[in-house]
């Protein structure tokens, strides 16, 4: 008899109750009159209620952050860094719990959730080294003989971060560790669709001992976002979401004189050359397209097998995609979870319908997927659309779901031109054995992240992460040196002793 071990990991809690804001070092009830049900996308069950905090709650958080700021900015960088060491240890201690909350609330499979929590921790680890990262520079006799010149990097005050549903743990951590380590204070507004892991992370932030007011949490939606954009005491805003909203946030916050960095949508192309090693690359392409059920800004969305590569790539890809096991992410044997909400499920299916109506061939249809035991979950199975042409809606708009659209093109130049014509510029990947082709691709393509034989080119914490064109609005990307520059302003001091 085979040894039957349960592969379904336990949920941390069945229900998380009514969520509270964290303001000035205290958990406080929101003054919201409207609440949103937070559902587990695999079961459709309500697992928490999220307050849609009004602008008064945002103002209270900003006031608390503003009050904390003077003392925090005078805390030496090395001392500020120590809070991050403490937080890092707590995150490691609660690693598995955090990952399970992500999986339960967002729907992604547990290994993806673990990867996401790891990414968040890595940003904390990098920010802990803030004394080295934040150093300025100087030059003796830089202005003239006996006149020295130096540059200092100084914090600005209060920043706020608005993050999306697709990486509920990680995206806030692209921002706030750098903002706070450089001496600013922070107001976080996580996605109202899956805020549970941020609520838990804030309990760890509290336990790590950050001074009251330095890091604040406000749950909410549109009104809270608008309040963040408009508040005169917020000096800068970090945002990730869809392109239309990114554009709105960028314009509105910038109109109030704030620094803004806004990540938007994507339409990423995977280009396969005839010399690519299909057996090695197809699993990587599958992971790119269907990882996190396609709800990633770096997800491969369009696949181009150049010339003779098209048919074998499409066949092998469809075959591998058809074998993916769809289900609840907390089941360790599952390879793809649900999408975030019922509404999003309908939206993704609508895109598949539109592709079919406009002439694409549905080579693998995920619309009728059934997951036994999870009949109320928001599942869309792996889908492959073939013979997609550039005039089709599925070739132009971000689907944000487990759908691969195959296009036929004759040359690498044509593929590069297609990518560069797209209004999006988040990521693009090439699969090839040719160094020359890879070099041409990375040189010419206008996208913020380039993958060479890699379908998800996700920058590590010490590199900047972000796109170009309508995939990013702003100047400096999250993470890496860009983050340090975004959260500080430079001051030049010229000194002459007489």
Smallest gap from residue 102 Cβ to another protein (A): 14
Smallest gap from residue 450 Cβ to another protein (A): 16
The span from the first CA to the last CA of the chain, in angstroms, equals: 90
DSSP string for residues in 165-209 = SSSTTHHHHHHHHHHHHTT-EEEEE--TTS-HHHHHHHHHHHHHT
Q: Site map for another protein, 115-134, x if CB under 8 A?
A: x--x----------------
Sign of CA dihedral 43, 49, 54, 55: negative
Q: Is 95 helix (H, G, I), strand (E, B) or coil?
A: helix
Distance between CA 11 and CA 345 in Å, rounded? 23
Smallest gap from residue 133 Cβ to another protein (A): 21
Residue 498 binds to another protein (criterion: CB under 8 A): no
Residue 10 binds to another protein (criterion: CB under 8 A): no
Q: Count other Cβ atoms within 10 Å, centred on residue 419.
A: 23
Q: How many binding residues for another protein (CB under 8 A)? A: 21
Please report how the helices 196-208 and 77-93 are oriented relative to each other, as an axis angle in degrees rounded to 10. 130
Residue 3 binds to another protein (criterion: CB under 8 A): yes
Which CB sits closer to another protein, 23 or 404?
Answer: 404
Catalytic residues: 297
Residue 71 binds to another protein (criterion: CB under 8 A): no
| Interface pick for another protein out of 55, 88, 100, 114 (rule CB under 8 A) | 114
Which CB sits closer to another protein, 34 or 92?
Answer: 92
Residue 332 binds to another protein (criterion: CB under 8 A): yes
Which CB sits closer to another protein, 112 or 192?
Answer: 112
Which CB sits closer to another protein, 243 or 287?
Answer: 287
| Stretch of 107-115, 336-344, 351-359, 475-483 lying at the interface with another protein (CB under 8 A) | 107-115
Smallest gap from residue 85 Cβ to another protein (A): 15
Residue 458 binds to another protein (criterion: CB under 8 A): yes
Asked if 281 and 431 count as a contact pair (C-beta separation under 8 A), the reply is yes
Residue 463 binds to another protein (criterion: CB under 8 A): no
| Interface pick for another protein out of 89, 97, 111, 365 (rule CB under 8 A) | 111
CB-hemisphere CA count at 13 Å for 406? 25
Distance between CA 26 and CA 217 in Å, rounded? 10
Closest CA to 366 of 328, 409, 337: 337
Residue 423 binds to another protein (criterion: CB under 8 A): no
Residue 96 binds to another protein (criterion: CB under 8 A): yes
| Stretch of 112-120, 146-154, 251-259, 364-372 lying at the interface with another protein (CB under 8 A) | 112-120
| Interface pick for another protein out of 51, 177, 220, 291 (rule CB under 8 A) | 291
| Interface pick for another protein out of 27, 95, 462, 463 (rule CB under 8 A) | 95
Asked if 102 and 108 count as a contact pair (C-beta separation under 8 A), the reply is yes
DSSP string for residues in 374-411 = -TTS-----EEEEEE-TTSHHHHS---SSEEEEEEES-
| Stretch of 90-98, 212-220, 345-353, 432-440 lying at the interface with another protein (CB under 8 A) | 90-98
Q: Using CA atoms in the order 331, 337, 340, 345, what is the torsion angle rounded to 10 degrees?
A: -140
Smallest gap from residue 115 Cβ to another protein (A): 5
Residue 413 binds to another protein (criterion: CB under 8 A): no
Distance between CA 297 and CA 329 in Å, rounded? 20
Residue 287 binds to another protein (criterion: CB under 8 A): yes
CA-to-CA dists, residue 305 to 57, 279, 285, 406, 434, angstroms: 51, 14, 12, 8, 15
Residue 372 binds to another protein (criterion: CB under 8 A): no
Smallest gap from residue 285 Cβ to another protein (A): 10
Smallest gap from residue 273 Cβ to another protein (A): 20
Closest CA to 188 of 165, 212, 211, 220: 220
Closest CA to 119 of 131, 130, 109, 111: 111
Tokens coding 333? 């044997």
Q: Is 476 helix (H, G, I), strand (E, B) or coil?
A: coil
Residue 100 binds to another protein (criterion: CB under 8 A): no
Smallest gap from residue 282 Cβ to another protein (A): 9
Asked if 208 and 176 count as a contact pair (C-beta separation under 8 A), the reply is no
CA-to-CA dists, residue 317 to 188, 304, 309, angstroms: 40, 12, 12
Which CB sits closer to another protein, 118 or 256?
Answer: 118
Smallest gap from residue 369 Cβ to another protein (A): 20
Asked if 200 and 101 count as a contact pair (C-beta separation under 8 A), the reply is yes
Q: Site map for another protein, 247-286, x if CB under 8 A?
A: --------------------------------x---xx-x
Distance between CA 16 and CA 370 in Å, rounded? 28
Residue 5 binds to another protein (criterion: CB under 8 A): yes
Instruction: Please report, as ranges, the residues that interact with another protein according to CB under 8 A.
Output: 1-5, 92, 95-96, 111-112, 114-115, 118, 279, 283-284, 286-287, 291, 332, 458
């Amino acid at each position: 008899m085979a040894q039957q071990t349960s592969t379904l990991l336990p949920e941390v809690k069945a229900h998380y109750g009514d969520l509270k804001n964290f303001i000035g070092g205290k958990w406080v009830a929101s003054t919201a009159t409207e609440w949103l049900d937070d559902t587990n996308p695999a079961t459709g069950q309500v697992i928490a209620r999220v307050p849609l905090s009004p602008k008064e709650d945002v103002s209270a958080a900003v006031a608390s952050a503003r009050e904390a700021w003077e003392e925090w900015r005078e805390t030496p960088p090395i001392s500020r860094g120590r809070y991050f060491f403490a937080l890092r240890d707590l995150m490691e201690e609660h690693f598995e719990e955090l990952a399970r909350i992500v999986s339960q609330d967002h729907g992604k499979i547990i290994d993806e959730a673990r990867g996401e929590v790891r990414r968040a921790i890595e940003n904390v680890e990098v920010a802990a080294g803030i004394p080295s990262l934040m150093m300025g520079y100087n030059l003796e006799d830089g202005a003239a003989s006996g006149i020295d010149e130096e540059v200092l990097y100084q914090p600005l005050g209060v920043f706020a971060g608005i993050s999306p549903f697709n990486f509920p743990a990680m995206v806030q951590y692209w921002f706030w560790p750098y903002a706070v380590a450089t001496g600013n204070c922070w107001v976080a507004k996580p996605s109202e669709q899956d805020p549970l892991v941020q609520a838990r992370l804030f309990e760890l932030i509290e336990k790590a001992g950050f001074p009251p007011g330095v890091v604040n949490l406000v749950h909410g939606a549109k009104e809270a976002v608008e309040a963040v954009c408009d508040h005169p005491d917020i000096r800068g805003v970090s945002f990730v979401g869809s392109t239309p909203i990114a554009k709105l946030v960028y314009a509105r916050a910038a109109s109030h004189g704030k620094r803004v960095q806004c990540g938007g949508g994507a339409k990423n192309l995977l280009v396969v050359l005839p010399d690519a090693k299909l057996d090695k690359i197809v699993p990587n392409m599958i992971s790119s397209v269907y990882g996190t059920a396609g709800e990633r800004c770096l997800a491969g969305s369009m696949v181009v097998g150049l010339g003779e590569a098209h048919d074998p790539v499409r066949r092998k890809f469809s075959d591998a995609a058809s074998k993916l096991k769809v289900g609840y992410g907390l089941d360790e044997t599952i390879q793809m979870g649900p999408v975030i909400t019922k509404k999003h499920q309908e939206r993704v299916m609508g895109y598949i319908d539109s592709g079919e109506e406009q002439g694409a061939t549905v080579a693998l249809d995920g619309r009728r997927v059934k997951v036994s035991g999870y009949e109320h979950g928001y599942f869309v199975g792996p889908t492959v659309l073939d013979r997609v042409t550039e005039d089709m809606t599925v070739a132009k708009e971000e689907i944000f779901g487990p759908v691969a659209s195959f296009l036929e093109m004759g040359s690498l130049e044509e593929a590069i031109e297609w990518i560069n014509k797209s209004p999006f510029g988040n990521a693009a990947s090439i699969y090839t054995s040719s160094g020359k082709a890879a070099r041409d691709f990375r040189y010419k393509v206008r996208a913020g992240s380039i993958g060479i034989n890699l379908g998800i080119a996700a920058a590590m914490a010490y590199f900047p992460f972000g796109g170009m064109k309508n995939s990013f609005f702003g100047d400096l990307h999250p993470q890496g040196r860009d983050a340090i520059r975004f959260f500080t302003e430079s001051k030049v001091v010229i000194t002459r002793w007489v």
